[in-house]
Structures are given as C-alpha cells and as structure tokens.
Amino acid sequence: MNQVRAIIHLDMDAFYASVEQLDQPAYRGKPVVVGADPRGGKGRGVVAACSYEARPFGIRSAMPISRAYRLCPKAIYVRPRMTRYAEMSDRIFAILRDYTDVVEPLSIDEAFLDVTASQRLFGPAEAIGQTLKARIRSELGLVASIGLAPNKFLAKVASDLGKPDGFVVVALGKERAFLDPLPISRLWGVGPKTEARLQRLGLQTIGRIAQTPVETLEAMLGGAGRDLWELANGMDDREVVPEQEAKSIGAETTFEKDTDDREEIRRTILELSDRVGRRLRREGYLAGGVTLKFRDHLFRTLTRAAILDHPTDVGDDLFREAWKLLQRVSWTGKRVRLLGVTATRLLAAAEPPGGQMPLFQPAADPRRQLARTVDAIQERFGADAIARATLLPKDRQRQRQG
C-alpha cells in the first residue's frame, strides 16, 4: 500500500514589508509599502509588497505606486532592498532543508516541501510544520503561513486561506469537505473569463464543479474541464520538484523618470552588474555570458548579448561587457526607461571551464577576493556599510571629497 503523501506549502507573510519592520522597529504596527518612490502621488512603478496594516486602505502588490499613495499618503514608503531579502530567504530555505531535501522553491519566500519520508526522523508531518513555523519566528523574527495536505493543490489553498500566521491541515478523506464551500476562483486555471462563464451556468462553488459530470465540463472547456473536475475533487498527483540549476541570474531597474543622462546610465549598469555579481557569488556560479536589456521612452525593448572570454562572478567584468553592449544599441535622441543586466551560460564556480583541471593552480584573483570581502561586510553590517564611491549619491560624494 502506497504511503499517503505529506505536502507542505509554506508562504511568508508580507515578506518584504515584514523584513523592513523587523529591521526598523519604528515601522512595526504601521502601514509599510515597499516599492518605487511615490513622489507625492506622482511616482512611477508599482508596489512590490505591503504590510497587513496597509491592506485595509486597499493597497495591494503590483498596484501603481501613485495609486497606493493616494489611498494612504501617511504610509511608510521604502525602496526594496533585494540583497537583504535574498539574505533572509537563504536563511529560511536553510531551515526548510534541515527537514527535507525535497524542496521546490516557487519564489524568494514561498515553497512546496514533501515531508513524507521525513516523518521517520522528525515525527508526524504536522509536528514538522509547526517546528518550521516556530524556528522561522524564533530565529529570524518572521512569520510563515503553512498548509499541510496530501497534495500540492490542497496545501497551497490551505496556506492561502490561513493567512496571516496560519496553519491549516487538510486530512486525507476530508478533501471535499474542505473544498466544497470555496469559490471557483480558488481553482488553478480559473481566470476571470472562465469564472464568469462557469458562474453563468450556476457553478459558483468548487463543490458544484465536483458534482458536475466530467463529460459535461470537457464538452464546455475541453481538456481543461477534466483538470478542473480533478482539482475540485481534491486530486493532484504532481510531484514536488526540487530546485533546478539556474540558467541565468539577472537584475533590472525602471527609472523613475526617463533619462538620457549618460553618467546616470553608466552608474545604473554598474550597480546592476554588482548586484548580479553578488548573486553569482552567493549561489556559487560563474557567468560565461552577459545580456543587456534596454527599453526606451517609447517602450521599445532591445537585448544585446555577448560571450565572455573568461567566466566570472566579478561585477567589474560584467559591467565592462554590459557597457560595450550598450554601445551596440542606437539610442541617440532616445531616453532610457529600463535597463537590465543578466548573467548567462552559468557554470558551477568550483568547475573549471571545459571540465579539465589546469596543470598548475592559477593564482587567486585578488578582485574576487575583494568582492567576497565586501560581500561579508555587507552581510554582517548591511548593504550600506560599504559601497563604491561612484555609486554614492552626489551629495555624499562631495562630502567624502571634502
């Protein structure tokens, strides 16, 4: 007899905003919005995340930042600190992997875990889930919501329903009791158009979908009809797929105001290259290629790519190649709206190019050693503890020169 699977879906609560509240105690209990600079309701860009205190005002992720400001001008607006969020994400996933190797990351703060086999070492799945929540809270000061169920779909719905600070268990045999009252929008694959179509037919809850003959749904929706019927009946046999090797690592930014300032553009490409270099070093990769993404004020997007002579994880190398690529873009008379730098053709940092060990061990690259020293300082004291002078705001550059 096959063992019943134990699948956990773990999702951090308002992750970016919660990290900001953790690092700035004065922000706790207040509406915090992470995203672009609102500039008095005239800012550009979107909300990356918001605290639960901001949500009663109607603020949501992906909302234009200008609208968020109009809804709650007294909220605390902060720019994203992706290096800090990535650091906390690494610590969260390190805790998860203490209990199972079968971890499928969905994003920086969300994952599926298969703890079926882990129960032999750590006890019942419910105890494992509670331990994960407790460790994340006590060691990191953050809150996770968890759904535990026999499959991925049920676990995901359970964690969503439990937010914030939730722990929802769907026991074997209770799938229909859990799902039946829920709206059909909870089913994967039901977008606004499909939802409206089903509701016109009187199918407003998951229970009604489950009770409808599968042949009827297939006649209405084709192959998607059977998929919806199976989900409505709590069926989902997809495996938890452990993290696959990265194929590329990139960073991009949208300017608050379209610019043709060559120095600002140069500084931005340098900053993006440094960010990509830090991620390469943290994740143990070297880049064999670089891609530059360029979008102008008319929303036309171009990409240019190059292969590096030598694989690298140093921001200076990435910048030099990205800057050369920019010269291949005809942007005279255009203003830049977005820039992106992506490392491609990744290989493990410990793996020599071509897979062959050199006869003599090459001397350590002092630039890589310097970059790793900077990484360590920033990890311990924060991203602002040490920075390139050329990336400092101009007023701070003048202070240092004085």
Q: Based on the fold, state whether residues 20 and 160 are members of the same structural domain.
A: yes
Q: What is the mean pLDDT of residues 386-397?
A: 49
Q: Which of 1-5, 297-301, 398-402 is the least confident region? A: 398-402
Is residue 42 a contact partner of residue 256, using CB atoms and an 8 Å limit?
Answer: no
Q: Identify whether 238 is part of a domain.
A: no
Return the biggest CA–CA distance within the chain.
78
Q: Identify whether 268 is part of a domain.
A: yes
Confidence of residue 379 (pLDDT cuts 50, 70, 90): low
pLDDT at 147 over 50: yes
Q: Identify whether 239 is part of a domain.
A: no
pLDDT number for residue 370: 61
CATH of residue 188's domain is: 1.10.150.20
How many other CB atoms are there within 10 angstroms of residue 369's CB atom? 10
The answer for residues whose C-beta is within 8 angstroms of residue 174's C-beta and 6 or more apart is none
The CA–CA distances, whole Å, from 396 to 273, 297, 378, 387, 400 equal: 22, 29, 19, 12, 6
Q: Based on the fold, state whether residues 255 and 166 are members of the same structural domain.
A: no
How many other CB atoms are there within 10 angstroms of residue 58's CB atom? 12
Q: Based on the fold, state whether residues 214 and 167 are members of the same structural domain.
A: no
Q: Identify whether 285 is part of a domain.
A: yes
Q: Based on the fold, state whether residues 151 and 96 are members of the same structural domain.
A: yes
Report angle CA 285, 291, 293 to the nearest 5 degrees.
Answer: 130
Domain boundary among 139, 172, 205: 172
- Exposed e or buried b for every residue in 277-314, given b needs 16+ CB within 10 A? bbbbbbbebbbbbbbbbbbbbeeeeeebeeebeebbbb
CATH of residue 258's domain is: 3.30.1490.100
Q: What is the mean pLDDT of residues 356-367?
A: 47
Q: Please give the sequence-ordered ranges of beta strands (E in DSSP) within 79-177, or none if there are none.
A: 103-107, 110-114, 144-149, 167-169
Q: Based on the fold, state whether residues 55 and 151 are members of the same structural domain.
A: yes
End-to-end CA distance of the chain: 76
pLDDT tens digits along 185-215: 998 878 788 888 888 888 899 999 999 999 9
Which residues span the domain enclosing 342? 249-354+362-401
Q: Based on the fold, state whether residues 164 and 220 are members of the same structural domain.
A: no
Confidence of residue 47 (pLDDT cuts 50, 70, 90): very high
For the question of residue 351 being annotated catalytic, the response is no
> In angstroms, rounded to a whole number, what is the distance separating the alpha carbons of residues 1 and 336?
61
- Exposed e or buried b for every residue in 105-124, given b needs 16+ CB within 10 A? beebbbbbbbbbebbeeeee
> In angstroms, rounded to a whole number, what is the distance separating the alpha carbons of residues 149 and 143?
20
Q: Based on the fold, state whether residues 183 and 277 are members of the same structural domain.
A: no
* CB-count exposure of residue 228 (10 Å: 0-12, 13-18, 19+): buried
Q: What is the mean pLDDT of the chain?
A: 86
Q: Based on the fold, state whether residues 207 and 97 are members of the same structural domain.
A: no
Q: Based on the fold, state whether residues 153 and 219 are members of the same structural domain.
A: no
pLDDT number for residue 398: 37
* CB-count exposure of residue 390 (10 Å: 0-12, 13-18, 19+): exposed
pLDDT number for residue 277: 93
Q: Identify whether 243 is part of a domain.
A: no
Domain boundary among 150, 172, 194: 172
Q: Which of 1-10, 72-81, 363-372 is the least confident region? A: 363-372
Q: Based on the fold, state whether residues 2 and 143 are members of the same structural domain.
A: yes
pLDDT number for residue 43: 84
Total number of domains constituting the chain = 3
> In angstroms, rounded to a whole number, what is the distance separating the alpha carbons of residues 145 and 13?
7
pLDDT tens digits along 225-266: 888 899 999 999 999 988 766 678 999 998 888 899 999 999
pLDDT number for residue 86: 86
Q: Identify whether 244 is part of a domain.
A: no
pLDDT tens digits along 282-301: 888 899 999 999 998 888 88
Of the candidates 53, 104, 110, 321, the residue annotated as catalytic is 110
Domain boundary among 148, 172, 196: 172
Q: Identify whether 344 is part of a domain.
A: yes
Helices 366-381 + 262-283 axis angle, to 10: 90
CATH of residue 9's domain is: 3.30.70.270
Q: Based on the fold, state whether residues 346 and 269 are members of the same structural domain.
A: yes
Residue reference for tokens 């919005």: 33
Q: In percent, how much of the chain has pLDDT > 90?
A: 58
Q: Identify whether 242 is part of a domain.
A: no
Q: Based on the fold, state whether residues 223 and 334 are members of the same structural domain.
A: no
The CA–CA distances, whole Å, from 85 to 105, 108, 142 equal: 15, 8, 12
